[in-house]
C-alpha cells in the first residue's frame, strides 16, 4: 500500500503517518521540509511547496499512489489545484474537511453524515463546504475518487483542548496561577474530543477502501463531556480546582467579533456524533483513549518540552477584560 500525505507533520497527520507505518505501508510526505524535527524514519519526503505546481509535478514524476490525503486544502482554489495535480495519479483522494461544516446549531442530535452542511458564523467552515461540493461534483462528473473526512476537535501530544485554542498553554497556566477561566455559555453543552491516535485508526481503515470512494465520514470518539467537566478534568490533572466564570457567548463575540466563528460557529454548540457509518466501513474502529488519559499524556509530553508551554498574552488580556466587564454588571 503506497500512501501520500500532503503535509504529514501536523497534529493529526503525524499520528496517521505512524498508524500507516505500523502496517508496513509505503508512506510519502510532500511538504516544504521546514519541520525536520517532525520527520519520521521510514517516510519518503518529497520536498516541494504544494502551490508550486511545476515543482510538485516534477517530484511526482512516475509516481502513482493507492491513496493520498491532503491535510491543507482550505478553499476552492486549493481544491482546483489538487484536481489538476492528482487526477489520474491516485486510486483514492481523501479531502480533510471539518465537522464544523455541519449546521450550527444542529436541529437534531446526534449529528450524522447526512446532517445539513451550513455554518452562517464561520468562513473557514463555509470554505470547506465549498471544497466538498467541488470534489463531489468532480466525482459525479468524471469519477474523481474522492473520500471526504470531517474531523471534529482532535488533539494530540502537547495539545490541551479549550474553547480558546488548544495549541497553547494559556488556560492551564491561568488555572495553575489561580486565575479565573472564562467559559462561554453555561458550561453544560456537550463536546466531543478525539485523540489523534484514535482518529488515525479510522482514517487508516478508509485508505485503500474502495467502498469509501464518493462517501463522507466524520471520525470521532463516542465520549462527550460538558465544557465544565472538560475544564475540571484539566484542573484535576494539574492538581488544582479551576475557577470557572460563565459568560454568554453572544456577549463574548460582541466584545471580540473575531471569536464568532470559533464560538458561535463551533464550540458553543453541543456536538454529539453518530459514529455508526465509520464503524460499518471500518469494523475494527474503536476509540480507546478517554479524555483524562489523553490529557495526562499531553501534559507529560509538555513536561518534556517546556518550551512548548506557550502562553498567549492576547488571550490572557481578553479574558481579563471580559471578566472585569462581566463583574461590573453583577
The answer to whether residue 223 scores a pLDDT higher than 80 is yes
- Asked if residue 246 lies in contact with residue 185, where contact means CB atoms within 8 angstroms, the answer is yes
Examine the pLDDT at 38 and tell me if it is beyond 70. Answer: no
pLDDT for residue 35: 66
C-alpha 246/C-alpha 173 separation (Å) is: 19
State the Cα–Cα distance between residues 62 and 152, nearest whole angstrom.
35
Quote the CA–CA distance of 25 and 17 in Å, as a whole number: 10
Q: Residues 226-275: pLDDT tens digits?
A: 999 999 999 999 999 999 999 999 999 999 999 999 999 999 999 999 99
102 contacts: CB under 8 Å, gap ≥ 6:
111, 115, 116, 117, 118, 119, 150
Query: Of all residues in the chain, what percent carry a pLDDT higher than 70?
Result: 98
For the segment 106-127, the average pLDDT, to the nearest whole number, is 97
**Mean model confidence pLDDT for the chain:** 96
- Where do we find the cell 484536481? 83
The mean pLDDT of 156-165, rounded to a whole number, is 95
pLDDT of residue 32: 86
Residue 40: per-residue pLDDT? 75
For residue 41, what pLDDT is reported?
83
**Rounded average pLDDT over 32-44:** 75
Q: What is the CATH number of domain 2-154+194-219?
A: 3.40.50.720
Which three three-digit cell numbers place residue 128? 470547506
Domain with CATH 3.40.50.720 in the chain: 2-154+194-219
User: Could you read off the pLDDT of 261-309 as tens digits, one per residue?
Assistant: 999 999 999 999 999 999 999 999 999 999 999 999 999 999 999 999 9
Assess whether pLDDT exceeds 80 at residue 176: yes
pLDDT for 307: 95
Q: What is the dihedral of CA 31, 201, 264, 259, to 10 degrees?
A: -30
* pLDDT tens readout for residues 63-104: 999 999 999 999 999 999 999 999 999 999 999 999 999 999
Amino acid at each position: 500500500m503506497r500512501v501520500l500525505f500532503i503535509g504529514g507533520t501536523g497534529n493529526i497527520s503525524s499520528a496517521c503517518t505512524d498508524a500507516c507505518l505500523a502496517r508496513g505501508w509505503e508512506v510519502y510526505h510532500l511538504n516544504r521540509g521546514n519541520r525536520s524535527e517532525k520527520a519520521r524514519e521510514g517516510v519518503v519526503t518529497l520536498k516541494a511547496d504544494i502551490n508550486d505546481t511545476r515543482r510538485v509535478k516534477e517530484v511526482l514524476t512516475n509516481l502513482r499512489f493507492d491513496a493520498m490525503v491532503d491535510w491543507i486544502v482550505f478553499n476552492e482554489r486549493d481544491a482546483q489545484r489538487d484536481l489538476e495535480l492528482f487526477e489520474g495519479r491516485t486510486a483514492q483522494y481523501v479531502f480533510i474537511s471539518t465537522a464544523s461544516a455541519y449546521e450550527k446549531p444542529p436541529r437534531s442530535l446526534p449529528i450524522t453524515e447526512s446532517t445539513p452542511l451550513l455554518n452562517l458564523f464561520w468562513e473557514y467552515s463555509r470554505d470547506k463546504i465549498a471544497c466538498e461540493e467541488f470534489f463531489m461534483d468532480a466525482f459525479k462528473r468524471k469519477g474523481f475518487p474522492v473520500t471526504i473526512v470531517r474531523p471534529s476537535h482532535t488533539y494530540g501530544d502537547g495539545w490541551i483542548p479549550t474553547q480558546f485554542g488548544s495549541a497553547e498553554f494559556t488556560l492551564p497556566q491561568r488555572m495553575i496561577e489561580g486565575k479565573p477561566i472564562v467559559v462561554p455559555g453555561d458550561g453544560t453543552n456537550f463536546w466531543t474530543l478525539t485523540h489523534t491516535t484514535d482518529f488515525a485508526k479510522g482514517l487508516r481503515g478508509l485508505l485503500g477502501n474502495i467502498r469509501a470512494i464518493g462517501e463522507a465520514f466524520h471520525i470521532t470518539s463516542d465520549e462527550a463531556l460538558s465544557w465544565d467537566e472538560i475544564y475540571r478534568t484539566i484542573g484535576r490533572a494539574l492538581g488544582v480546582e479551576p475557577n470557572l466564570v460563565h459568560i454568554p457567548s453572544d456577549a463574548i463575540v460582541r466584545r471580540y467579533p473575531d471569536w464568532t466563528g470559533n464560538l458561535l460557529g463551533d464550540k458553543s454548540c453541543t456536538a454529539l456524533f453518530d459514529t455508526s457509518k465509520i464503524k460499518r466501513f471500518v469494523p475494527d474502529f474503536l476509540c480507546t483513549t478517554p479524555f483524562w488519559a489523553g490529557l495526562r499524556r499531553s501534559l507529560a509530553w509538555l513536561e518534556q518540552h517546556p518550551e512548548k508551554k506557550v502562553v498567549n498574552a492576547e488571550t490572557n488580556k481578553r479574558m481579563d477584560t471580559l471578566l472585569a466587564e462581566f463583574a461590573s454588571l453583577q
